[in-house]
Structure formats: C-alpha cells, structure tokens
A = this chain, B = another copy of it.
Amino acid sequence: MNTNKYKETRQRELILLILKGTHRHPTADWIYDEARKKIPNISKGTVYRNLAILSERGEIAELNLSGTITRYEIKQPPHYHFRCEQCGKVLDVNIPIAEELNRKAGKETGFKVTYHQLEFRGLCKDCQQSSKKG
C-alpha cells in the first residue's frame, strides 16, 4: 500500500543517506551543511521539506524532546534518549521500554495513553572526564 505520490530525488536520497550514516541526532542545520558537501546549491527549504516528508512517510523520526531545536533520526523501534547537560550530545539508550508506565498513567488519568517519550539527563563520559580534570 505504498502511496506512490513521492518521487525519488537526489536531494531526498541524500538527506536519508546522511541520516543513515550518523549516530548523531542531528539538527536540520547540520544536515543542511552535510548535504551541501554533495549538492552545494541545495537549499534549506528543501532540507526542511524533505525532513517533513520523510517523517510523514515514517522513514525518520523527529526528536522534539527538550530544547527548541528539532532533531532527527532514522526510524527505529521505540527507545529512550540521553542528553548530556554539558555538551548537549544526544544518544540512544538501549534499555527496555517501561510499558507498565503507560498503564499506570492511563489508570491515574483516565486518558488513553498510547506511548511515552523519555529523555535521561546527566553527564556523558567525555564530560565526566573534563569535570574531573577541571
């Protein structure tokens, strides 16, 4: 049931490739900079439009957790994130999703809770190092 209303374009493929090739959770701006290395005259509008399309298609996910700048990642099974409070780095955390929290929250509120987003905060390895040194 692929709704073939999309064409495959160099720009879109490049953006997807960039996201597949990084473990960062990059911002649109970073993706734009990377993309320009291959297609120098690609525009930011194109980057944003394609990120929106890829997100709608379900190929990538928007990470809106904390901070005002949206970050993106290749679509994966649900997982948690960690954000370093010092350097701002965002990383995946591979521990099981606490599904029971959804049930608890649903019972508490009477709402229909379908999922949750969670972001751990603290210091990453690098920043722990530099804290010790400092």
**A interface residues (Cβ-Cβ under 8 A, vs B):** 64-70, 80, 82, 84-85, 91, 93-95, 98, 101-102, 104-106, 108-125, 128
Contact = CB atoms under 8 A, between A and B. Distances in A.
A113 B108 contact: no
A112 B116 contact: no
- Classify the secondary structure of A's interface with B: mixed
Given A64-B68, A101-B95, A101-B98, A121 B114 contact: yes
Contact of A80 (B95, B105, B122): B105
A117 B68 contact: no
Contacts of A122: 106, 111-115
Nearest to A104: B95
